[in-house]
């Protein structure tokens, strides 16, 4: 708002009948009636601070950017930069199945994506949907309605598959010398105490399963960071910490496997090879689902199993009806 003195000076130039007794609003109205805009107060510029010339320029530039943003104007303001405009039509994205290999597309025709199969049907189809040139594993993926962060819902157990897994399991036994002969007779690949400690100290892991006696477990504590992330640390729940090492080795060789729920509440387990045939795969799968049912927590609310699917190592997923519930 213009100062009163400036307004009176302007009114005097226009020869208007106003005095300092009139209010600023009255003086402005009289000037407006005369058809002359009231004088505006010039912005005072300070040497520094919010009212400095630099700060005022930045504020004005920011206001212009906000105005362009609201108007949707994305054109560059510099003459040296060319405006980025869309060139050509929008790229067409092919369906996911068309982006797969020819072998995958050929076997995927055996699977109806919207159909839910029985366990026997799914495993029969799985033996026909192996796009790989090797004897692929048949995997079961079960999404559970548990919270893995809760200790009582962190599912972890072992199951002995009647027909094995089809894989050659290398078993190492970390036990006193008195147990070495029994472990070797049971089929252990590596047996020892100081020898295994030396290999672990060098970061060497030449086994798939490590069996240890309870009294020898403290010696493995310093190798927890090496064995733990690989799932090789002996654990009583998995049956790899046992006083009877011969029995533990026999079970590991015969097809005893461990499964556990991951952070996404999914259990993944291989129940054999494609070459097993549907009948043997069904037997292994039923043994797994029976074990999974026995691990159901009492504190769980809602459905224990949300969904189940079966696939080969590189093959398409096959939806399976709920076997557990």
pLDDT of residue 2: 47
For the chain, helix (H) and strand (E) counts, in that order, are: 10, 9
User: What was the pLDDT predicted at 75?
Assistant: 67
Sign of CA dihedral 260, 261, 262, 266: positive
Nearest Cα neighbor of 187 from 205, 173, 204 is: 173
Mean pLDDT of the residues in the chain: 84
Question: What does the alpha-carbon distance between residue 193 and residue 170 come to, in Å, rounded to a whole number?
Answer: 17
Q: Convert the pLDDT of each residue in 156-170 to its tens digit.
A: 888 888 888 888 888
Q: Which residues on neighbouring strands pair with residue 288, listed in sequence order?
A: none
Half-sphere exposure of 179 (CA within 13 A, CB side): 25
Average pLDDT in the 127-145 region? 92
8 A C-beta contact, residue 240 and residue 211? yes
Q: Check whether 186 has a pLDDT greater than 70.
A: yes
> DSSP label at 136?
P
Q: Which DSSP letter does residue 90 get?
A: P
On the question of pLDDT at 302 being above 90, the answer is no
Domains of the chain with CATH codes: 1-40 (no CATH), 113-166+255-325 (3.30.190.20), 170-254 (3.40.50.790)
16-40: average pLDDT: 72
Percent of the chain with pLDDT over 70: 90
Q: DSSP letters of 213-280?
A: -GGGGGGGGGGHHHHGGGT-S--GGGT-B-S-HHHHHHHHHHTEEEEEB-TTSEEEEEEEEGGG-HHH
Report the pLDDT averaged over residues 85-104.
79
> Per residue in 196-209, pLDDT tens?
888 888 888 888 88
The CA distance from 151 to 179, in Å, is: 34
* pLDDT classification of 320: cutoffs 50, 70, 90: very high
**pLDDT at res. 52:** 84
Residue 282 has pLDDT above 90, yes or no: yes
How high is the pLDDT of residue 38? 47
> What is the spatial order of strands in the sheet that 190-192 belongs to?
190-192, 171-174, 209-212
> What is the CB-side half-sphere exposure of residue 145 using CA atoms within 13 A?
15
Question: What element of type H or E holds 25?
Answer: helix 24-33
Specify the pLDDT at position 79. 57
Express each pLDDT in 31-85 by its tens digit: 777 765 545 555 566 777 777 888 888 888 888 888 878 777 766 666 555 555 5
CB neighbours (10 Å) of residue 124? 18
Give the DSSP per-residue string, 296-313.
--TT--S-SEEEEEEEES
């Amino acid at each position: 708002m213009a100062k009163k003195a400036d307004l009176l000076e302007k009114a005097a130039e226009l020869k208007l009948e106003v005095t300092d007794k009139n209010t600023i609003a009255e003086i402005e109205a009289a000037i407006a009636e005369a058809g002359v805009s009231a004088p505006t107060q010039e912005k005072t510029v300070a040497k520094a601070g919010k009212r400095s010339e630099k700060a005022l320029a930045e504020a004005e530039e920011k206001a212009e950017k906000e105005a362009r943003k609201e108007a949707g104007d994305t054109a560059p303001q510099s003459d040296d930069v060319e405006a980025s405009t869309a060139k050509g039509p929008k790229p067409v994205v092919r369906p996911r199945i068309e982006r797969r290999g020819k072998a995958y597309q050929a076997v995927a025709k055996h699977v109806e994506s919207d159909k839910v199969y029985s366990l026997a049907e799914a495993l029969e189809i799985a033996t026909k949907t192996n796009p790989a040139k090797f004897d692929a594993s048949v995997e079961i993926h079960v999404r559970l309605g548990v919270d893995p962060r809760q200790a009582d819902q962190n599912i972890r157990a072992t199951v002995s598959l009647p027909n094995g897994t089809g894989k050659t399991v290398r078993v190492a036994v970390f036990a006193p010398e008195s147990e070495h002969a029994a472990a070797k007779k049971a089929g252990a690949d590596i047996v020892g105490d100081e020898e295994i400690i030396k290999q672990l100290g060098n970061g060497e892991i030449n086994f798939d399963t490590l069996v240890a006696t309870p009294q020898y477990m403290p010696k493995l504590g310093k190798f927890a960071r090496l064995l733990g992330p690989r799932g090789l640390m002996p654990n009583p729940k998995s049956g790899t910490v046992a006083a009877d090492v011969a029995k533990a080795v026999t079970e590991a060789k015969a097809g005893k496997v461990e499964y556990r729920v991951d952070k996404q509440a999914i259990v993944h387990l291989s129940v054999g090879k494609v070459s097993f045939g549907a009948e043997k795969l069904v037997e292994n799968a039923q043994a797994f689902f029976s074990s999974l049912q026995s691990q159901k927590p009492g504190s769980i609310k809602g459905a224990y199993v949300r969904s189940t699917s079966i696939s080969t190592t590189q093959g398409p997923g096959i939806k399976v009806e709920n076997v557990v519930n």
